[in-house]
Structure 1
């Protein structure tokens, strides 16, 4: 049975391959209306597919499927105003490995994004380096793009962007600078400045005062916990652990203003005290019993 099903599926795939040759894996409605090459090959589902005159067509969405079904003649040969270019004139995505394997072939436009440059009216400030992860081959040339959206825009209308010339003066190639090669102050500024600023800002907003700790020790402990809780280089489990410690630290800091407010004035019998008073008072007193005058556990 498995062999019979496998053979049947091969026949179906062969049939589909043969009847989709007119527009391949491109949306004929996009081609007819906008002369856009909208590749749907990465979509395996046939949700927006139709068969007409012995040919198989895939549309990009429900709206274009409805348009095709209502008036198919205007989207197929000979009614379609545009035909699909020859295979060698169609753009195709490249992976970083595929680009590296094409060495010594170089990327076009010295690695600047052609979409950003043209959409920026070919101004000097519109010369932005592309990223190797967004690479496309077109007319046996390789282009790289600033973002996925820019790459997709090129693939829809490659004729618009491919034949551009760079100005004589272009931005210099920026070489990556290793943090360890910087002086200490520069290393701290580039490596941890943003994280420290966020931690100090949070401490400034909270103004933490932990029971049995000085203001200085409270602030330092809070910053240390904050840095550990939001260290993007740590694993998610470690970050979550320190986020819980940070939350517990903040709760401890709130004990002082809470107790000082509740305990003002004359003595009140237990029945007139807030329901959580005993719990928070006991928690406050328990903190004094920790070793090292309530040294906060940062490890």
Structure 2
């Protein structure tokens, strides 16, 4: 028996043209883009389908754009009769998961992530923060390296994506020092990422505090399906936890690998990555290689990949 998880990507997956052919074919997807435009007061179709890229990559535009694309595609899947038994999303993607679970309305979510993007961008002056991907290093070894360079400045683990792929975040000098130390300690690669702020570290606590004020005004409903939270890789127990965990998520590590292992242990055997890119597929393949579990993995970002999923799962 299939147990299906819908999983949603985070910032960085965006590209000009995302969602276009889905919207052209499916009215329910077009409706989501129209709702998004009304919520954020600009033409979401134009931004996603035409760009320009320099506008799309601004954090406060990127986050609502990716969320809109994810929900538009998910609504098409649901309309076709494909439903999730469980859901999760990486960082920004957690908002898509909560919308699909019926916890937050799409209109509220898209307005929230626009503000979230702006707060995250503004929390640290440009050039003072950085992020880097550390490849080929075990979690405990990297945490020891980060401990050793704390005297240089703030540097913390931001994303535990998959075995051997961890992202670190913090002050530029400390991140650069951690990259050097990680390579000396045996990391295969340590690469600075082209991001505008040090996401998911304690430097973003002020952004979380601002977001908290906006979340207070949002209606949160009970979950229709289980959602796994980034902060602790466990299920939201009830709607009361939602606001607290979304605030924490801004400045805490994203436990993505742990979240996927939890799903596998709970019997998920079919994963559908919904939205732009295939990064979550790549993470899952690495996770499966190191686990005793097996699963089918799909992605839906355009009309062609949508047809593949419908053909295989309906």
Q: Shorter-normalised TM-score: what interval?
A: under 0.3
TM-score normalized by the length of structure 1: 0.22
Larger % of strand: which?
2
TM-score normalized by the length of structure 2: 0.21
Q: Greater relative contact order (Cα 8 A, min sep 6): structure 1 or 2?
A: 2
